[in-house]
Structure 1
């Protein structure tokens, strides 16, 4: 596995992966992370696409993903990939799309364990009433990401 640390408008991201795909994109505390001077070849495309996303130039990612998790977690993470840029879904809608409204808590738990932030857009899942609910990267980052996507959509309309 290769690792790179990049600076973003929301702080430091740690990107982990290899030729099989990305296994993690994680928010880090700046005090514990040093920005990488060199990007491993296997992670260059991920770094470029994330930079384009933060610059408002990318709305979809085209990367090989290889997150580690249970079969159910992977089903939830695959469902997250279907939430369009600038849109949101609720935990209940996620559970319904997985075929059983009773799995709402399990779906929420799997959502919170998503190891590939931003690219697998768990930040696009909100409460049924539209409220910002938990986010492993912190609610301030979830709010920033949703506002970033909303403003990027508005800009592209003109």
Structure 2
């Protein structure tokens, strides 16, 4: 079945992002760390070689405002993955804004306490950054661990969320 993907670009406090959606919801969100055209090609590959795409920056700007400015607008997600990945990503979404959890916490949360490495792999394959907040998942020793866009950005996102939460409580 051919699916229409609408994508757009926006600026965030942490750099440019690309957001894509299907009719069902947001299906992809990434920080741009390379060529935009290459990113669009990768997006189409993930969703099928013959996926028609159109550009809509307004949609991406709305998502950016929801994530980084607290704009109150419901966002539906169109998440595709294995059953295991979906369980992991669902559990990651339970980690509250401004908080962190460990890979082991996530493994225990899905009832698979010995699957920490598989959980880490599923988290690394998350296609929807920030909305499935994989940056909130850290090692048991408190170190941030890896992040697709680098450890430095992961730490900046964690710090920003904690600061935002503290400022909201004042």
TM range (shorter): 0.7 to 0.9
Q: Which residue of 2 aligns with 1:40?
A: 56
Q: Does 1:148 align with 2:148?
A: no
Alpha-carbon distance between aligned partners in 2 of 1:62 and 1:117, rounded to the nearest angstrom: 16
**1:66 has 2:82 as partner:** no
Q: Secondary structure at the match of 2:160?
A: helix
Aligned residue number for residue 145 of structure 2: 133
Answering whether residue 77 of structure 2 is matched by residue 77 of structure 1, we say no
TM-align CA RMSD: 2.2
Give, in whole Å, the separation in 2 of the partners of 1:87 and 1:95.
17
Alpha-carbon offset, residue 141 of structure 1: 1.3
TM-score by length of 2: 0.80
Find the counterpart in structure 2 of residue 14 from structure 1.
Answer: 18
TM-score normalized with structure 1 length: 0.85
Q: What do the CA deviations read for 1:132-153 (whole angstroms, capped 9, x no partner)?
A: 1011121121111111101101
Query: Structure 2, unaligned stretches of length 5 or more?
Result: 38-53
- Tell me, what secondary structure is at the counterpart of 1:140? helix
Indicate yes or no: 2:142 matched with 1:123.
Answer: no
Unaligned runs of 5+ in 1: none
* Aligned residue-pair number: 150
Give a deviation string over 1:21-62, Cα, whole Å, max 9, x none: 111001112x6238xxx9639x62x6324224323x35x873
Tell me how far apart the structure 2 counterparts of residues 124 and 153 of structure 1 sit (CA, whole Å). 14
Number of the residue aligned with 2:126: 114
The structural deviation recorded for 1:18 is 2.0
The Cα shift of 1:94 comes to 0.7
Are the equivalent residues in 2 in contact too, given 1:21–1:65 (CA < 8 A)? yes
Q: Find the counterpart in structure 2 of residue 54 from structure 1.
A: 68
- The Cα of 1:125 is off from its aligned counterpart by 0.3
